[in-house]
């Protein structure tokens, strides 16, 4: 390979290094930025949502506006005025604005919470006990822009039932910080994008080093001037 060919190869490697490195940076930083903005992670610290989620379970949630949640969603919320701390609390949404939530129809194992007069099937409730031993029965008309929420472990959950004298125990949708997700497809894709970005950056660095080596070899191939061309 001649000097000109090696110089051309060095320039090509240099361009490839820049392109691959920039793509890697955009992919890695873009994926990281979006993941931090759109998703979060937490560790369950209580058993109020057992058996669905227990202490020590690692969960992921999507950061959404509270107006996007629907009955049945498991959400993370922040209500320091009610709970006395700024940490996240996990509950399940039972009723949204305009819904009428009541407890309970039926007796014993056949008891059901009703929403708009319709018995709610809750296979996620621990032991099938939808009442949880709370002495109070309730019949709440959920105000617009608010949510009525319960834990899956009804006997050990300080949820809307414990605050019935405060707007029926409901909380504003603004208290919602995220919705728990069980489908990790999107986080996995983002994680893959970030790893691929790192790999491409490393490949770009390798191409850059190769370009420098080729250019040095090309310079080394320049023959010395003949003796008669030397100016004295």
Domain layout of the chain by residue ranges: 3-37+186-222, 39-183
pTM attached to this predicted model: 0.75
pLDDT of the residue at 218: 63
Instruction: Write the pLDDT tens digit of every residue in 175-194.
Output: 999 999 987 676 777 678 77
Instruction: Write the pLDDT tens digit of every residue in 27-54.
Output: 777 777 767 778 898 999 999 999 999 9
Q: What is the mean pLDDT of residues 75-96?
A: 95
Instruction: List the 39-43 sheet strands across, edge first.
Output: 39-43, 58-62, 176-181, 74-77, 89-95, 146-150, 171-172
Cβ pair 35, 187 in contact under 8 A: yes
- Residue located via tokens 């996990």: 90
d(CA 76, CA 180): 7
- Residue located via tokens 């890697």: 24
120, with CB counted inside 10 A (0-12, 13-18, 19+), is buried
CATH no., domain 39-183: 2.10.109.10
């Amino acid at each position: 390979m001649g000097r000109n060919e090696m110089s051309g190869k060095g320039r090509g490697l240099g361009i490839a290094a820049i392109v691959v490195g920039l793509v890697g940076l955009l992919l890695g930083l873009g994926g990281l930025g979006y993941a931090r903005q759109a998703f979060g992670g937490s560790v369950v610290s209580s058993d109020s949502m057992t058996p669905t989620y227990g202490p020590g379970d690692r969960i992921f949630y999507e950061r959404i506006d509270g107006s996007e949640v629907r009955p049945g969603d498991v959400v993370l919320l922040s209500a320091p005025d009610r709970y006395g701390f700024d940490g996240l609390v996990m509950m399940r949404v039972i009723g949204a604005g305009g819904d009428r939530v009541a407890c309970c129809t039926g007796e014993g194992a056949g008891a059901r919470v009703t929403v708009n007069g319709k018995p709610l099937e809750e296979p996620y409730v621990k032991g099938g006990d939808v009442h949880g031993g709370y002495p109070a029965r309730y019949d709440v008309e959920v105000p617009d822009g608010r949510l009525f929420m319960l834990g899956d472990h009804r006997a050990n959950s300080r949820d809307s039932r414990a605050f019935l004298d405060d707007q029926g125990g409901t909380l504003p949708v603004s208290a919602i910080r995220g919705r728990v997700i069980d489908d990790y497809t999107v986080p996995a894709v983002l994680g893959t994008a970030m790893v691929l970005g790192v790999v491409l950056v490393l490949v770009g660095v390798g191409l850059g080093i190769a370009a420098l080596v080729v250019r040095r070899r090309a310079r080394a191939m320049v023959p010395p001037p003949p003796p008669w061309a030397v100016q004295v």
